[in-house]
Amino acid sequence: MAQSLPFAVRGRRAPGAGFLLRTARRTLVESVYLLTAPVTAVAGLLLALVGVGLGTLASLVPGGSPVAAGALAPARWSADLERWRIVKVRSAAGREEVAGRRPRPKKTAAVSDPGLWLDVTHAVAVLPVVLVTTVVTGLWWFIGVAFVTFPLRSAPGTIRPGVMSVGSAQSHLYVSLGLLSPGEHVAFGIVIGLLLLCTLPLVTRACVAVQAGLGKALLWDVSALYRRIRGLEQERDTARAQTVAAVTAEATALRRLERDIHDGPQQRLVRLAMELGRAERHFDSRPEAAREALADAIIQTQEALEELRALSRGIAPPILVDRGLREAVTALAARSTVPVELDAGPLDRRLDAAVETPAYFVIAEALTNVAKHSHARRCEIGLRHGAGTLRVWVTDDGVGGAALDKGHGLRGLDDRLHAAGGRLRVTSPDGGPTTITAELACC
């Protein structure tokens, strides 16, 4: 019983002692981080300025991009060192890092990398912050240790009552601190020193929070600024890709329209002109031949009109413009040579033309492919609108093998959808079935 008591007392004190040890260790690590920061900050600023200067000069020379990328490498070194220092000081405080260093682009793309310029910005902006945090930490340490060790550094008999003197030898002012004996003077110094040392963990934590917070805001890929820059880059790339896709789809559609007009109505009109010329030649001498030529001309005219109507439906289908997507899809299903099952959900309202048109052409092209290539016995058209997305699909039981290869009609549809901010998915294993799905964002 007598032996177990010390262990019980020691067990009760262990948590408090462990807390003090952890606090002391964290304070020492944070103090080292703060007091050595001016060296790394000045070195980082010099490396960044030299790297940017050399990179700027190299970029002015034709073909100097690789040289500029190599010259900017020193600007990365200080940022990498500061990331490592922040990770170490925050791990000493028991905090988990949510992200590591930012992914590095290719060397040739380093000049245009926003992360590089954030690293340079940190090298310039951190120096004033470092000077303040270092001075505060150093003075706190110096004054606290000086007060605590005051009795050890003073010889016996030299400690005088606490009096502050302000002024010169001819005119001065004495202010008493109320310390009338050397013992009170010693006690005052020790109390002030202990108070400063006890509040030192709070000071170092605040200084580390400011300095490391600036580093995390500029050097980590989770920073709001970096996310904003990346978001703007992605928006730019998306807009550029959509523009290219729109131009490509438009050029493809124009070439296809030109080919269809040349192969269809133009040939009909040429034959119509020939029949009218034949009728004119035989109008007086051979009336029967003239009537036959006029009858053929009427047939050619009707066929040319039908082909022009079909082409106009490929440009801007009247039923789609007048009555909307659901009715236009119903008309497509009715004209299909392959039996179609329509599974169209309700539409709360009329969708925008920028959404209806590409969705319509996806279904029209898919039905054309079903009729020409799939050898299907039946197919299904689906249409759903919800959660801000329009989803259409065409499924057939044919032989499969459809793909988004260059030169195929589906590739043009993919470009058209990409230009409208949508996406096209094709699932068509050999032997079927084939499912073509398009998704478009809409309000």
Enumerate the β-bridge partners of residue 393: 382, 437
Question: What's the Rg (C-alpha) of the chain?
Answer: 41
Cα of first residue to Cα of last residue in the chain, in angstroms, is 78
Give the model confidence (pLDDT) of 352-365 as tens digits.
877 888 888 888 88
Give the model confidence (pLDDT) of 153-193 as tens digits.
665 555 555 544 444 555 444 444 555 566 666 777 788 88
Q: Which of 37-41, 57-61, 341-345, 414-418 has the highest mean pLDDT?
A: 37-41
Q: Under the phi-then-psi rule, with left for phi > 0, alpha for psi from -120 to 50, and beta for the rest, what region is 400? A: left
Name which of 183-187, 287-291, 417-421, 422-426 the model is least confident about.
183-187
Can you tell me which residue has the tokens 């030649």?
Answer: 281
Report the candidate in 357, 372, 382, 399 with the shortest Cα–Cα distance to residue 436: 382
pLDDT value at 117 more than 90: no
Give the model confidence (pLDDT) of 211-227 as tens digits.
988 888 877 764 555 56
Enumerate the β-bridge partners of residue 172: 167
pLDDT of residue 132: 93
pLDDT bin (cut points 50, 70, 90) of residue 248 is: low
Give the model confidence (pLDDT) of 317-329 as tens digits.
777 777 888 888 8
Is residue 411 within 8 A of residue 370, CB to CB? The reply is: no
350 vs 155, higher pLDDT: 350
Q: What is the spatial distance between Cα 383 and Cα 390, in angstroms, rounded to a whole number?
A: 8
Residue 352 DSSP symbol: P
The pLDDT of 198-203, averaged and rounded, is 90
For the residues of 418-439, what is the DSSP string, one character each?
A: HHTT-EEEEE--TT--EEEEEE
pLDDT value at 232 more than 80: no
Enumerate the β-bridge partners of residue 330: none
pLDDT of residue 333: 86
Enumerate the β-bridge partners of residue 173: 166
381 vs 236, higher pLDDT: 381
Q: Which of 48-52, 137-141, 329-333 has the highest mean pLDDT?
A: 137-141
Give the model confidence (pLDDT) of 366-417 as tens digits.
888 888 888 888 999 998 888 788 889 999 988 888 877 655 667 777 777 7
Mean pLDDT in the chain?
A: 75
pLDDT of residue 106: 44
pLDDT of residue 110: 52
CA distances for 347 relative to 34, 60, 281, 436, 438, angstroms: 63, 58, 59, 21, 17
pLDDT of residue 137: 92
For residue 107, count other CB atoms closer than 10 A to its CB. 14
The 3-class secondary structure across 235-279, one letter per residue, is: HHHHHHHHHHHHHHHHHHHHHHHHHHHHHCHHHHHHHHHHHHHHH
Q: What is the spatial distance between Cα 321 and Cα 408, in angstroms, rounded to a whole number?
A: 27
The pLDDT of 409-435, averaged and rounded, is 80
The encoded tokens of residue 144 equal 């606290």
pLDDT value at 246 more than 70: no
Give the model confidence (pLDDT) of 58-98 as tens digits.
667 666 566 666 666 677 777 888 888 888 888 766 654 44
pLDDT value at 194 more than 60: yes
pLDDT of residue 308: 73
The one-letter amino acid code at 249 reads A
pLDDT value at 228 more than 50: yes
Q: What is the spatial distance between Cα 248 and Cα 112, in angstroms, rounded to a whole number?
A: 28
Enumerate the β-bridge partners of residue 166: 173
Enumerate the β-bridge partners of residue 438: 392, 424
pLDDT of residue 372: 82
pLDDT of residue 130: 93
pLDDT of residue 278: 77
pLDDT of residue 9: 44
